[in-house]
Chain A
Amino acid sequence: MEKGSKVNHHLFVRENKAVSFSDETLAKIRSLIRRYPEGRQKSALLPVLHIAQEELGGYLSVDTMDYVASLLGINPMEVYEVATFYSMFYLEKMGKYVLEVCHTGPCAICGGEEVLKHIKDYLHIETGETTPDGMFTLKEVECLGACGNGPVMQVNTEFYEHMTEKQVEKVIEELRQKQGEEGTSKGWAEQFS
């Protein structure tokens, strides 16, 4: 019988490090804010957090969130509440590549569980862990809306579909090779006109 049911949360530290977006990104954020009515600039919070996570270290530090709060003129607590609600936001430093493997029903019945297990064996990490070289973090996520192409995995929000044990090895090795190079896919800020 299961013994404990411990909630795995902890408090975070405000380091008071200066963080800031580039001028270009700031201009983009200003244009995003204008998409919403006057006084509703908080609406831009999710897109801005996506951009912040991507451009300011791969996760949302307290300092980053405080910065976003100041940009939108809201209480930092409102940002913490939102950042902890949505599963795409990371609160801790992640590996360079975050492997998010779908483990929901449709993927699971098409071999998703085997793929997941294989990644663990291959990288010698458990879910939630990062490889010692800081390259890969493994996450299990819920349905990614691509069930017909299961098993599905996302790496830094890019889709990898029809995964098999061989395929994931290939993907991982390719990512290893890419080390140092920039990714080819467009970043969050570039998605918006």
Chain B
Amino acid sequence: MFKITIDNILIEVEEGTTILQAARMIGGKVVPPAMCYYTGLKGSGGKCRSCLVKVAKGSAKDPRPMPKLVASCSTPVQDGMVVENTTSAEVQEARKGVVEFLLINHPLDCPVCDQAGECDLQDLSYGFGMEETNTREPRREYPVVDIGPLIKLHMNRCIHCYRCVLAAEQLTKKRAHGMLYRGDTMEISTFIQTAIDNDFSGNMIDVCPVGALTDKTFRFKSRVWFLNPMNAHRECSKCSGKVTAWMFGNEIYRITGRKDQFGEVEEFICNECRFEKKDINDWVIDGPRKIKRQSVISSNHYEELKKGSIIHPIEGTTEPQE
């Protein structure tokens, strides 16, 4: 067991644990935001840089601080390590910078985005972003790519986290989409016109931190904060059949995996459960899902947020693609 201090809180964790996982064991404010790391996806993390923290002391053996901020999601703890997250001004500054980078090319079309209300980028912006935007440059616009009848791809909203690629690689037999090109023209695409279709493709929607991948069968049906998430299950030959049913009255609007407080699903579910079973008789409803409504919109910060800048499309931005 390793002892590690995060924001002055001491915790004992197993060897091999990452700083982020250790922080999540403590919970609350010391948990760095993670936009690309996803526990269930091997090889995820390290890319978005929103989880940067300062290592003020490397370990008991080698107490030197680490020269640069490190990605907490992909840095394993050392015995005696001292980490600063909320207590470091440098970290707060850097994170603000990362949020800004993630937003300069984001279309900011939350008013027409199905992800609004459960979007990690909204939360991140609200939690760490700046009051106003500093960019007057034109935003990047991708051509629209149709990836089939079940999933809607809005490439302009993508933050290039790689989660959907990893999900497709690890959950399906033959990945039909990928990260193409490079640099700031990097694109999630199928390269050739094709519908992404296999039993587990729908999980791409759940792992996508933003509204770049959304459920076409739920498109514009409702705002998520008007719906009641219920734990539900059914006998399923392909997956555990344990899902969250998002309901309005007795109607099921959509099915997702059961997400924990960090937005990660407990178990990946199959497409049949997700897309085809929208009748309440398909399911046994177990009761309300206790969702820690950490989302800015879910927790009624929406009005407050509206006054700020991140909800309004900024001068010069384009209309949401349709």
Measured between C-beta atoms, what is the minimum distance from B195 to chain A in Å?
A: 12
B176 touches A77 (CB 8 A): yes
Is the pair B180, A81 in contact by a Cβ cutoff of 8 Å? yes
A8: chain B residues at CB < 8 Å are: 185
Of B138, B142, B145, B176, which is within 8 A of A2 by CB? B138
- B191 interfacial by beta-carbon distance below 8 Å: yes
| Closest A residue, CB atoms, query B187 | A9
Count of residues in B whose CB is under 8 Å from the partner chain: 25
Contact residues, A1-53 vs B (CB, 8 A): 1-14
Q: Are B141 and A7 in touch, CB under 8 angstroms?
A: yes
Residues on B with C-beta less than 8 A from A179 are: none
| Chain A minimum-CB-distance residue to B142 | A7
Q: Does A168 contact B (CB under 8 A)?
A: no
B174 within 8 A of A: yes
Determine if B96 is an interface residue (Cβ-Cβ < 8 Å): no
Per-residue contact bits, chain B 179-190, to A (CB 8 Å; 1 contact, 0 not): 111100101011
User: Known: A9-B189, A11-B190, A85-B182. Is A75-B174 also a contact (CB below 8 A)?
Assistant: yes
Q: Distance in Å from the Cβ of A88 to the closest Cβ of chain B?
A: 13
**CA gap between A13 and B176 in the complex, in Å:** 14
Chain A residues with Cβ below 8 Å from B139 are: 5
Q: Are B141 and A6 in contact (CB under 8 A)?
A: yes
* A11 with B189: CB separation less than 8 A: yes
- Taking a contact as CB atoms closer than 8 A, the residue among A2, A14, A84 that contacts B192 in the complex is A14
Q: State how many residues of chain A have any CB contact under 8 Å with chain B.
A: 22
> Which one, B140, B175, B193, contacts A7 given CB within 8 A?
B140
Which of these, A4, A9, A13, contacts B181 with CB under 8 Å? Answer: A9
Determine whether the beta carbon of B193 is less than 8 Å from that of A11. yes
Return chain B residues, CB-CB under 8 Å to A13.
Answer: 192-193
In the complex formed, the residue of B with least CB distance to A91 is: B191
Q: Could you say which of B142, B178, B185 has the most chain A C-beta atoms within 10 Å of its C-beta?
A: B178
A119 adjacent to chain B (CB < 8 Å): no
B131 at interface by CB-CB < 8 Å: no
Establish whether residues B138 and A80, one from each chain, have CB atoms under 8 Å apart when the complex forms.
Answer: no
- In Å, the complex CA distance between A8 and B137 comes to 18
Q: Is A9 a contact partner of B178 (Cβ separation < 8 A)?
A: no
- Chain A residues in 8 Å Cβ range of B28: none
A6 to B155, CA, bound (A): 12
B277 proximal to A (CB < 8 A):
no
Rounded to whole angstroms, the CA-CA distance of A9 and B153 in the bound complex is: 15
Interchain CA distance A12-B182 in the complex, whole Å: 17
B143 within 8 A of A: yes
Apart from the given pairs A75-B175, A85-B182, 6 other A-B contacts in the complex at a CB distance below 8 Å: A7-B143, A9-B180, A10-B143, A14-B192, A78-B178, A81-B178
What are 22 A-B interface contacts by the 8 Å CB criterion? A4-B138, A5-B140, A6-B141, A6-B143, A7-B140, A7-B142, A9-B142, A9-B180, A9-B185, A9-B187, A9-B189, A11-B145, A11-B192, A11-B193, A13-B192, A13-B193, A75-B174, A77-B174, A77-B175, A77-B191, A84-B181, A84-B182
